Structure 1
Amino acid sequence: MRSFILICCLLVTAQCVKAQFQRFGNMGGGGGGAAQRDTGSHTHEPDTITITYRLLGEPTDYKLDSSIADFSSSYMHVPASYVMMGNSGAPARNLLFTPFMKAGFDPGFHTFDVYGFNHQNARIYNTTKPYSELLYLVGSQQEQNIGVLHTQNRTDRFNFGFEYNKKYAPGYFRSQATNHDIYRLTARFNSKNKRYNAYLSYFYNKINNGENGGIRVADSVLDNPRYSQRKTIDVNLGNYASTTSGLFNTTLPVKTTNKQSGFMFVQQYDWGKGDTVHVNDTTDYYKFDPFFRVQYTFRVDNNSLAYLDGQPDTSFYTRKYGWAFNGDTVRALHEWRTISNDVSLIQFPIRGNQGHFISAGARYENIRGTFLDANISFNNMVVHGEYRNKTRNQKWDLSAKGEFYLAGRNSGDYNISGMLSRYLNETLGNVHLLFSNTNREASYIYKYFSSTYDSWYNNGLGKENITLLQFAADNKKLKYNLAVNYYLMENYTYFENYYTSAQAPVLFNLLQVILSKHFRYKHYNWYAEFAFQQVHGDGRIQVPSIWTRHRLAYENKLFNNLNLMTGIEARYNTSYYADDYSPVIGQFVYQTTQRVKYYAPDLAAFVHFRIKSLSAFIRGENINTFFARNNFAGPAYPYNNFTFRLGLRWWFIN
């Protein structure tokens, strides 16, 4: 596998050199760059491209993002509101609380979801020319990220896309290295008469996370010059074990391995009406508008969580887990496989608008689990339906959908939702209303967990019921986004300590108000983001009341093809009882004993620029550690020291 990745990188690099000599001098540099330019016709310049993608099940076309404004989301693909347990690639959670609202079976392994691929974010591309991207990041402590993307239409009827991401970060503290390999393959095919369509989505996420259990000493040690080299600070796990760390060879004394893979194959056959459209004297193309579709979806999903500590620290496991500990290896393993078959019938009432449809279907699921001491198998039978009307003038978007588990292990689970979106005008922008209600069994990790030292069951959990009411507004002219979320939660499930689960005793609610606004004066820009959160009732969740991020930047276009953005970035949230983290089960833990506060805002200085097909991100992060104590992600988990990062992104028309 390593040789394959190195070969891929060499091939892409070779294409890069060739492409630069052949095309680089002629590529346009403004706006989204030549690789993002849409000519709006069937004739393209030799060095331009039209490329779009769709998400599975969505009728909307999206364009690639070549922006250099937001390093977190557009380059690292981790929203700025996420907090990681001390190191890049470590277990992460959203400070803007978002409950899991999916009916049916769920293993419960979500602490690494933000880094991986899944079917929901799979991109089905359509491009007029082969397109490639190469990303590379290098940072302090030998942090490195590698990204490769390639997609092309082999014919007008077949496209494939391949993506690979490598994330490696040794970190500043002992035994906290992360090393992730993430793959994705997508493809689409349609027959010559356009009646048959097929879509393929495959992903594989291999997450390796070093577990150190947090620092063992008091927070004040971070102010002691004696410990300016952070690896001299004692940690709770892997303290005296040797660690070998490298981009392709990392030995972790205590580690969590989360493997996720998914294969989905969607086949569609349509009935409808086709016409030959005459473009000019030499060009005709065949247009087919379906009015009825039969769709079959086959899925295989695998999800596993493994924990291994070969040289365990007796005091940590005795203190945190209450085990009668004898010093033997600590090991845990949960493996799940879900196979599902889904048949749907879809009708399109209005010819030429595939965003307006009615669907109904049924799905059969088979789920198998493997643990250290037992196996389990069960089935589910599900019915589902949806009505969607996204008008061709893009002003109205209406959706109503639901699914219900008729029989099986998750019988009685359901999800219903309704959405109405309306584009008013350029001044008022777009407004959005959403209602969603989910009734579901708690994720399986809250019901049962097994390790070499202890196994526990919690069979008294009731079904969670979560309701979301949302109002949102998006205004491109006034440059703001607003979302007001109101959650109502019953039987919310959580971990009350490092090893056992419980449910909130009463019904409670959560109010969120999230606002982002862009202010501009000449070349000076202020990107402001605010979030307010308040819990009413005994909810057993902890959130900061205020979270905010600000980017103050100078932006200009220089020398015709240099897009420059330079400035400072600050993130801050109010103090709160941040969740602790349990390494053995890989879950966040509710706690009310240690309040986590920011000693100073997280500060970063940056220079971002794009020259034609090259983007660069030069950043100095955690500047606040020069004059204040390290901020903490959770109890005993400090953030890293000052970090330098250089990220590069190239895109090529092959």
Structure 2
Amino acid sequence: MKKIFLAFVLLAFFGGVYAQKKDISKEELEKLKKELGRPKQDDVESLQSVNSGDYKKNTKNAKQQIAKITDYLIISRENDTTYLDTTLTIYKDYKFNYLRKDDFGLIPFSNLGQTYNTLTYNFENTNLMPSFGAQARHFNYMEIEDINYYRVPTPLTELFFKTAFEQGQLVDAFFTVNTTPRFNFSIAYKGLRSLGKYQHILTSTGNFRFTTNYTSKNIRYHLRTHIVTQDLLNQENGGLNDDSVLNFESGDPEFLKRAILEVNFENAESILKGKRFHLDHSFDIVRKKDSTSRNKLILRHIMSFEDKYYQYNQANASGFFGNAFNNSNLQDKVTLENFYNQVQLNYSNDLLGDMQFNVSNNNYNYGYDKLIVLNGETITNRLKGDIYTAGGKYHKRYKSFDLEGEMGINITGDFDGNFIKGSASFKLNEDISATAQINHSSKAPNYNFLLYQSDYINYNWQNNFNNTETQQIAFHLKSKKLANIVVDYATITDYAYFKKDGISNLTKAFQNNSTITYLRVKLEKEIRLGKFALNNTMLYQNVQDENKSLNVPELTTRNTLYYSTNMFKNALFLQTGVTFNYFTKYYMDDYDPLLAEFIVQNEKQYGNFPRLDFFINAKIRQTRIYLKAEHFNSSFTGYNYYSAPNYPYRDFTVRFGIVWNFFM
């Protein structure tokens, strides 16, 4: 709570300090915008230069000029530039959640900030290194690609607030300013504390971000850097015990107060902490001076250092995980230090296109501070070393065609890996565009498949798994008049997964040596009739896997019927409607709180329950207000709704929130 309050105080202070900043030269700003790259219009849901996003500033001759909403730039890691969007659309409603992005294909646990079960997977991959593990804790862990940079003509503040479950709330406070036309910084903090409805599921999370964005006066040197610190704490209870599952499903009014349902244990918690420093800077060796110039040569250096750990604490051992070396004060802690350097040479030519060559180094140190001896064999406590990688990219735009390619390969080190990715896009007309894509990847499984240590005896292993190899082809048709259709087909070999073994009935790491085939077809279409609209997202999936190691629902759908209108002489914009979510029955993955991973189970199917949400959203000037009655059908469609086996989904609840933008 103190952190959340401090974030608001800091942003209010910064806003006051910079409210009187000097004017920015419009010509200089336009020049810098061109250097940042062409904004991608398709990436913005609805960009409008609306009066509510405008502000006035005084010039030396006392003229009044209006800064357009499109002058507030958001720049991604890949240099894609979009604008601040202050409009209210149904897509904003889909993103008004803990992750602050569309969570279609995910189903959250009962408490805000716990984790999400995954209903669909995308096997496109360009990573060459294993991931850390504890993937159930990483949905809200902000990676390098999740951090944006900014360029704004005046200070900008955004405040996000949403109520949580029982005690607590969720806030995300953000502030950015250009102190000069060439230097920007931003500071943000997202904090959550939520008690939850069930026993021992409190969540407390924090994500602090600081970014800078600088361009030299001659516009030849560019620098972007960020510092991120994150701590994500969850109390763990192992889910409802078998008797409580029966009581939950009975619908008996006595058990509608969920805190009286018994759980498997009440003495454990898990925490994921991380801090990262990232630097991305470049120098234009040869730059285009005018429209007759054809060549551009850029030297770029990327450096990133990340230090993170996952820790599971339990006061006393529980038979839920089998026998333990110690019966009290159990503590499993695994750390990863990763230092990354990449040097790029980027060459652009009007005829040949854009080419990049790069070499990289990954210095990694993953593991534990103790040695485990099990059945007379010593399990190592560290995986560490250096990986050297080479790669390249190519991009060429010719008339209505857009060609892109990327590749990378590990040259030396203990982990083999390679990937190739290519895409071709074609714009048929102003409405219809199509993209075909192919991707091949070979990389080692995540670190916790290769090495894991625990105070619980059965959770100790060291595996020499093969690389997981994936091939994927995809086709994307995009049309506002027709529909957005995405079809992708993947084959996966040596897929790594967790599952309870048939002997101890405890979780182990496995590898599927057969080939999995995986087809997905996704359709998005909105139908409008006057002020009414029906927004549809439907996903069909088919998996052929003889070992049943990859389970997904065959059909997942989200349909929203809503009404939009302006009221009170256009002072208020209102949207109200009902959202229907549904997925068919399937063998839903179980959750292992010790590993913070989802594990495969093929004993019982879950799903086939509708979720209906009624919402009223409104926009007044730069403020967007959200009110939602979530899962209001829970009491009359049956108590068979689960996010994972033994982990019920959310009951009916009413929640409120706002997003407020300040322009100074």
TM-score bracket, shorter-length normalisation? 0.7 to 0.9
Q: Tell me whether 1:389 sits opposite 2:417 in the alignment.
A: no
Q: Tell me whether 1:220 sits opposite 2:246 in the alignment.
A: yes
Deviations 1:157-186 (A, max 9, x none): 111122211122221111112111012222
Q: Secondary structure at the match of 2:9?
A: helix
Counterpart Cα distance in 1 of 2:197 and 2:341: 46
Contact kept, 8 Å, 1:369 with 1:375, in 2: the verdict is yes
Contact kept, 8 Å, 1:30 with 1:561, in 2: the verdict is no
Residue type at the aligned position of 1:651: N
Deviations 1:53-90 (A, max 9, x none): 22113344454464341323255424132112332211
Contact kept, 8 Å, 1:35 with 1:651, in 2: the verdict is no
Q: Secondary structure at the match of 2:319?
A: helix
Counterpart Cα distance in 2 of 1:276 and 1:387: 23
Counterpart Cα distance in 1 of 2:324 and 2:411: 44
Correspondence for 1:208 among 220, 233, 238: 233
Q: Tell me whether 1:524 sits opposite 2:532 in the alignment.
A: yes
Correspondence for 1:451 among 438, 450, 454: 454
Deviations 1:73-116 (A, max 9, x none): 25542413211233221122431223473222322232233323
Deviations 1:223-250 (A, max 9, x none): 1222121010000120xxxxxxxxxxxx
Contact kept, 8 Å, 1:34 with 1:613, in 2: the verdict is no
Q: Tell me whether 1:468 sits opposite 2:472 in the alignment.
A: yes
Taking a change above 3 Å as real, the CA distance of residues 18 and 476 of structure 1, as seen in their structure-2 partners, is: farther
Partner of 2:204: 179
Counterpart Cα distance in 1 of 2:369 and 2:558: 44
Deviations 1:273-328 (A, max 9, x none): 46599xxxxxxxxx99971011111110223211011134x33233xxxx267632
Contact kept, 8 Å, 1:366 with 1:378, in 2: the verdict is yes
Aligned length, in residue pairs: 606
Partner of 2:115: 91
Contact kept, 8 Å, 1:91 with 1:111, in 2: the verdict is yes
Q: Tell me whether 1:570 sits opposite 2:573 in the alignment.
A: no
Contact kept, 8 Å, 1:631 with 1:638, in 2: the verdict is yes
Partner of 2:6: 7
Contact kept, 8 Å, 2:321 with 2:456, in 1: the verdict is no
Q: Tell me whether 1:604 sits opposite 2:609 in the alignment.
A: no
Q: Tell me whether 1:56 sits opposite 2:77 in the alignment.
A: yes
Taking a change above 3 Å as real, the CA distance of residues 375 and 325 of structure 1, as seen in their structure-2 partners, is: closer
Partner of 2:360: 363
For the aligned residue pairs, the C-alpha RMSD in angstroms reads 2.9
Correspondence for 2:591 among 557, 581, 596: 581
Counterpart Cα distance in 1 of 2:337 and 2:611: 41
Q: Secondary structure at the match of 2:228?
A: strand
Contact kept, 8 Å, 2:55 with 2:67, in 1: the verdict is no
Contact kept, 8 Å, 1:148 with 1:165, in 2: the verdict is yes
Contact kept, 8 Å, 2:493 with 2:516, in 1: the verdict is yes
Contact kept, 8 Å, 2:165 with 2:197, in 1: the verdict is no
Partner of 1:249: none
Shift of residue 36, structure 1, vs aligned partner: 5.2
Alignment of 1:78-477 (within 5 A): 78=101, 79-99=103-123, 101=125, 102-218=127-243, 219-222=245-248, 223-238=251-266, 253-273=267-287, 291-312=296-317, 314-318=318-322, 323=323, 327-350=327-350, 356-373=353-370, 374-390=381-397, 395-410=400-415, 412-427=416-431, 429-454=432-457, 456-477=460-481
Alignment of 1:526-545 (within 5 A): 526-538=534-546, 539-545=548-554
Shift of residue 542, structure 1, vs aligned partner: 0.7
Q: Secondary structure at the match of 2:188?
A: strand
Residue type at the aligned position of 1:92: Y
Q: Secondary structure at the match of 2:320?
A: helix
Counterpart Cα distance in 2 of 1:555 and 1:19: 36
Taking a change above 3 Å as real, the CA distance of residues 133 and 359 of structure 1, as seen in their structure-2 partners, is: same
Contact kept, 8 Å, 2:283 with 2:300, in 1: the verdict is yes
Deviations 1:571-602 (A, max 9, x none): 1100111000111111110010121133x311
Partner of 2:24: none
Q: What is the TM-score with the length of structure 1 in the denominator? A: 0.87
Partner of 2:652: 642
Taking a change above 3 Å as real, the CA distance of residues 564 and 551 of structure 1, as seen in their structure-2 partners, is: same
Deviations 1:396-445 (A, max 9, x none): 432101110001021x3011100112222124x22111111110111110
Residue type at the aligned position of 1:602: R
Q: Secondary structure at the match of 1:439?
A: strand
Counterpart Cα distance in 2 of 1:448 and 1:84: 28
Partner of 1:26: none
Taking a change above 3 Å as real, the CA distance of residues 377 and 11 of structure 1, as seen in their structure-2 partners, is: closer
Taking a change above 3 Å as real, the CA distance of residues 19 and 653 of structure 1, as seen in their structure-2 partners, is: farther
Residue type at the aligned position of 1:615: R
Contact kept, 8 Å, 1:469 with 1:487, in 2: the verdict is yes
Shift of residue 457, structure 1, vs aligned partner: 2.5
Taking a change above 3 Å as real, the CA distance of residues 129 and 122 of structure 1, as seen in their structure-2 partners, is: same
Residue type at the aligned position of 2:514: V
Taking a change above 3 Å as real, the CA distance of residues 173 and 5 of structure 1, as seen in their structure-2 partners, is: closer
Shift of residue 384, structure 1, vs aligned partner: 1.0
Deviations 1:6-39 (A, max 9, x none): 233135457889999xxxxxxxx99575465699
Partner of 2:518: 510
Deviations 1:309-361 (A, max 9, x none): 1134x33233xxxx26763233211100111221111101129x9xx520101
Structure 2: 5+ residue stretches without partners: 20-45, 371-380, 501-505
Counterpart Cα distance in 2 of 1:38 and 1:407: 55
Q: Tell me whether 1:73 sits opposite 2:95 in the alignment.
A: yes
Q: Could you tell me the percent identity over the aligned residues?
A: 21
Shift of residue 505, structure 1, vs aligned partner: 3.1
Q: Tell me whether 1:500 sits opposite 2:499 in the alignment.
A: no
Counterpart Cα distance in 2 of 1:47 and 1:419: 37
Residue type at the aligned position of 2:254: R
Taking a change above 3 Å as real, the CA distance of residues 64 and 329 of structure 1, as seen in their structure-2 partners, is: same
Q: Secondary structure at the match of 2:513?
A: coil
Deviations 1:455-508 (A, max 9, x none): 522424111101111101221344x32111111100000002253111113112
Q: Secondary structure at the match of 2:460?
A: strand
Q: Secondary structure at the match of 1:45?
A: strand
Counterpart Cα distance in 2 of 1:197 and 1:129: 21
Taking a change above 3 Å as real, the CA distance of residues 60 and 146 of structure 1, as seen in their structure-2 partners, is: closer
Counterpart Cα distance in 2 of 1:14 and 1:383: 46
Shift of residue 188, structure 1, vs aligned partner: 1.3
Contact kept, 8 Å, 2:525 with 2:536, in 1: the verdict is yes
Taking a change above 3 Å as real, the CA distance of residues 501 and 11 of structure 1, as seen in their structure-2 partners, is: closer
Partner of 1:24: none
Partner of 2:570: 560
Q: Secondary structure at the match of 2:95?
A: helix
Contact kept, 8 Å, 1:366 with 1:380, in 2: the verdict is yes
Contact kept, 8 Å, 1:35 with 1:48, in 2: the verdict is no
Taking a change above 3 Å as real, the CA distance of residues 507 and 540 of structure 1, as seen in their structure-2 partners, is: same
Residue type at the aligned position of 1:552: L
Counterpart Cα distance in 2 of 1:18 and 1:204: 25
Residue type at the aligned position of 1:442: P
Taking a change above 3 Å as real, the CA distance of residues 74 and 182 of structure 1, as seen in their structure-2 partners, is: same
Counterpart Cα distance in 2 of 1:288 and 1:168: 55
